[in-house]
Chains A and B, each alone.
Chain A
Amino acid sequence: MGLRVGLDFGTSNSGVALYRDDQVQLLPIDADSVLPEVVKSILYITRDYQHYIGQQAVQLYYRHNVGRLRRYVPKKAGEIEYRGADMYYVRDVYVYVDELQPGRLLQYLKTALRRAGGPAGYAGTQVFERYYYVADLLQLFLAALKRRAEALLGEEITAVTLGRPVKFSDQPELDRQAEETLRQAALQAGFADASFELEPVAAALYYEKSLHQPQNALIFDFGGGTLDLAVLRLGDPRQRQIYASGGVSVAGSDFDRAIIQKRLLPHFGLGRVIQQPELLELLHTIPDWIALPELSTPQNRYHLEQAIQAGVAPARLRTLQSLIFNDLAFSFYNQVEAAKMLLSSQGAAVIELKEGGIDLWELYTRLQFEQDIQEHQEAIEQVLLDTLAASGLRPGQIDAVVKTGGSSNIPAFTRMLGRIFGAQKVVASNTFSSVVAGLAIKASQG
């Protein structure tokens, strides 16, 4: 009989754990990572359809892409029919494809899962000559995790308990579809059995191991893609009770986008570019780093060169050109994220990008950050209060507020929790591993 593991498939990071002999064993899945128990939820597919995950994917992406050559060739995308005068015309439509592109880097796979449902949903993506549905991408990622975990454990893994956010979607049908897609991906990845547990509940199971007496706890699981909340009675497994759960699709990646939108776009020409819609469109795409490499077309290079020659913010547009045409979007996003994380422990940090001729430097303070995410903070506080109200408990009846997930370290949210519940009640659980640890405990219970 094979092993049963817990697998936290997060928006930014993932992990695998095993619960055995009353101990949680976090598996060092990504040996190349600073925290080997945490693997980045990133998938890199090369032109010959080899795929890589985690730090290996990141390293390969950099090695293959930064400063590489490009060659655009027209490729027929389809036909359009239009009516002119008294007859219909059919015309071929071509798109320019970079035939030297060595691979595609895919991040936020879990967000894709949330957007996968419905007739207008995100079904998948074309990677060179193959079309990958969302389930295919998830399957590649989960299968790679399974292989690595089995290699570490030296035993076959047959069953998995996967974490899931409280809400993939506000619409129950889309929520069910997202869970089913994830289940099918897990089964196709080779797990014989796949079950689910809400991520905040999993974090609660882990926290419960440290309790000596029953208490009411609020789990504040705040990661890269969602905020998940659960109000539970913990401490006695026989009387465990979930009073309420809730969530909102706001988290770390939204904060990164807010920083870029509010602070960094002027470095690329925003404010100086006024009457060039093509350039403004490029500028407003910067916060979406996955879309940025798609902008490296000959037409965009032409528009940028024309504007630079015409003296429209030439230094800033050169920076934009380098960001797009040197595939530096991923580096740029990483710098923004790193600075944001630093602001959890210090009052100021620098967002810096010095590659491909770019010299971007922005001193960013915690106060600025808190102003930039003010709108999100208000939405989050509202969801928190709504969930608490749904549980039927008052703040004073909550014995502990357990915060977990990368974004839970942001001081503004710690302050908010302290203000509502009392600072002494706010406890930090293992930032990146409490969910996966709880999932392992759940998996062991069958």
Chain B
Amino acid sequence: MITPDKIEEWIQEVAERPDSAASILRLIANRLGELASRNEELLEENILLRSGKRVEEYESRIAHLEYQLDLLKRHFGGELPEAAAAALEDAQLATSQATISVLGYDIHGRVYRLELPSEDLVSESALGRLDGELIPDGVPARLLAAPSLEELLFIFTSGRIAARPVSSIPFYGSSPDRGAPEEVPAAPIPVEPRLGEMLACLAPVSRLPLAQFFVQISRKGCLKKINAAMAQSILANHYIGTGIKSAPDQTFELALCGNADRLALVSREGYLLCLSAKDLPFAVEEVMRLGNSDHLVAALVLPPRASLLIMTQIGKVIHRADESLEIAPSLRSKGQPVFSPSRREQGVRVVGAAAVNEDDWGVALHRDGQLSLHAVKDLFGSGALDVHGELLAFAGLRAPLS
């Protein structure tokens, strides 16, 4: 913005300090050069607009965006134009041929990976035996079942994170044809923990673009919500924060959710707390009051119409149907007991929980390292599973497009 008054002031500056003339001239010349180049760009743009080429370019871009939108709708089950039906069948065929990975991992960062076909799963079947120390430093290994195309976030107790695709972890195959491998050794450690930190959890994050929040949950019932919009910065910094109020509490789980979701927290001593994601705090707050000897063993997001399956170390199945899950009216509650105090006194403890539908599956890790696969409808039918010694962990398994 150059006005006659300003030009007059520049001239006064030169009259006052002749040395300024050179720098004023140089600065104005630089600006003129810039404006000349900008003017040329605008003239070119004008030619493209008048000739209609720019319109064609935008039409082509719009068509491409519409195509991408269709792809997304197909992938996530939105409304589909009829013309896309054939392409959807192809996509379903390709996805159904995808495999599922069952991952066992411990605090030292050791990961065991077994790969299963997503179809022809057999209930009550043995998947293989994890070979190694399964309760290092008194903390049992944990389980996660996820599509093999999934992206995993390794979250450490220091708040550090690292992303790795599931497919980058070496695996052992298990199928009805080949049978279960005798022993499944740990893969080379995918992300080495640094001095003083431990692997807290593995979190699947491929649905991140559809999530509104991360929820970071600590072992002692504290949590914080983080806007998914910060994901880029979190991933770029490799740091999400410890998510705890004070030591010795540690990060336990990271979940992705939307405002309408519910979060279920289940403790080892058998307490269940169900919270609405929209009410969760952005600052770290204690949301579940746990006893001194208690800690969380599962923290999961409940999709609509999903039931909660809770597994004890003796293989007893506890089922909470969708309609019976009550949202806690306030934070910092103790939660509802899922079994009687006498059972608790007898030493019954929860080892895991999963949000499931009738058609889903569950994977259990036994004390002797054996991994077993169970249909959820069978578990609900029998109310228990056969246990080798005791159970260490349990995880739900949802086949792609099941």
Contacts and interface: CB of A to CB of B under 8 A. Distances in A.
15 contacts: A71-B229, A99-B227, A102-B227, A102-B230, A128-B282, A129-B283, A348-B24, A359-B38, A361-B1, A363-B10, A363-B31, A365-B9, A365-B10, A367-B9, A367-B16
Contacts of B1: 266-267, 361-362
A176 interface: no
A348 B226 contact: no
The size class of the interface chain A forms with chain B is 20 to 34
A64 B232 CA distance: 9
Interface string B218-237: 00000010110110010010
A49 B281 CA distance: 13
B283 A347 contact: no
B9 A48 contact: no
A209 interface: no
Interface in B79-116: none
Interface in B114-128: none
Contact of A365 (B13, B38, B230, B241): B13
Contacts of A100: 227, 229-230
B230 A346 contact: no
B28 A363 contact: yes
A366 interface: yes
Interface string A199-243: 000000000000000000000000000000000000000000000
The size class of the interface chain B forms with chain A is 20 to 34
Contacts of B36: none
Interface of B: 1-2, 6, 9-10, 12-14, 16-17, 19-20, 23-24, 27-28, 31, 38, 224, 226-227, 229-230, 233, 236, 241, 281-284
A346 B27 CA distance: 12
Contacts of A68: 229
B20 A365 contact: yes
Contact of B27 (A49, A64, A363): A363
Given A129-B282, A366-B20, 19 more contacts: A47-B282, A49-B283, A64-B230, A102-B227, A102-B229, A129-B281, A266-B1, A347-B13, A347-B17, A347-B24, A349-B23, A361-B1, A361-B31, A362-B1, A363-B10, A363-B27, A365-B20, A367-B9, A367-B12
B233 A346 contact: no
B23 A346 contact: yes
A153 interface: no
Nearest to A369: B13
A37 to B, nearest CB: 27
Given A266-B1, A267-B1, A47 B230 contact: yes
A102 B233 contact: yes
A130 interface: yes
A397 to B, nearest CB: 33
Given A347-B20, A348-B23, A48 B229 contact: no
B224 A366 contact: no
A107 B227 CA distance: 25
A126 interface: no
Contact of B227 (A47, A267, A348): A47
A68 B31 CA distance: 30
A260 to B, nearest CB: 14
A69 interface: yes
A368 B282 CA distance: 48
Contacts of B17: 347, 366-367
Interface string A66-85: 00110100000000000000
Given A100-B229, A367-B9, A48 B283 contact: yes
Nearest to B216: A48
B199 to A, nearest CB: 21
A129 B19 CA distance: 55
Contacts of B226: 47-48
Interface string A48-61: 11100000000000
